[in-house]
Homo-oligomer: A and B are copies of this chain.
Amino acid sequence: MIFTTPTEYAIRGMAELCGRGGADRPVMLDDLVIGTTLPRDFLAKVFQRLVKSGLLKSAKGRGGGFMLAKPANLISLEEIINAIDGPIHVDSCVVGLAKCNDAQPCPQHDLYRPVRERLKEYLKTTTVTDLAESLKTKQAWVRIVGAKTIEKSKVTNGAY
């Protein structure tokens, strides 16, 4: 995994939220996590940060919950990552050779640049809309193939 666990939850949570109508109306956390493996209370913390970052809006009390702060197609993966991990993360060099950055490049830095640029572009252009769509397609697929294959696929858990 490229991101931290909180960021992964943020991404999955946003996707679920959008898929469950969170673009239009508040969705409760208790509803959001049904049928997922998302840890409710931990996700609550993550969502708090997304609220503070302006990607989500929250409403307390009856009829409350979380909803997207702007249209799903205007929220990119990059924004979600920045909100949780901070912007440094993606820019960091794969190789991990110390004391090397854009201002003070090393050859590896330049070799890795095309990879990094492509990754950044992907993160910039992929939006919550895309994620929700992916989720929907996959859920349909899972429904067709059935539970046995899924159980079997758990062997490759971690390799998504």
Chain A residues within 8 Å of B, Cβ to Cβ: 1-3, 8, 11-12, 15, 37, 77, 88-89, 91-101, 103-104, 106-109, 111-112, 114-115, 118-119, 122-123, 126, 130-131, 133-135, 137-138, 141-142, 145, 149-150, 153-154, 156, 158-160
Contact = CB atoms under 8 A, between A and B. Distances in A.
Question: Interface centre among A109, A114, A119, A123, by most B CB within 10 Å?
Answer: A119
11 contacts: A1-B89, A12-B95, A12-B98, A77-B94, A88-B156, A103-B153, A106-B138, A107-B130, A107-B137, A107-B138, A109-B160
A150 B103 CA distance: 11
Given A1-B92, A97-B135, 20 more contacts: A1-B96, A3-B96, A8-B96, A11-B95, A15-B97, A77-B94, A88-B156, A91-B159, A92-B158, A94-B119, A94-B123, A95-B131, A95-B134, A96-B160, A100-B138, A104-B141, A108-B130, A111-B122, A114-B118, A115-B115
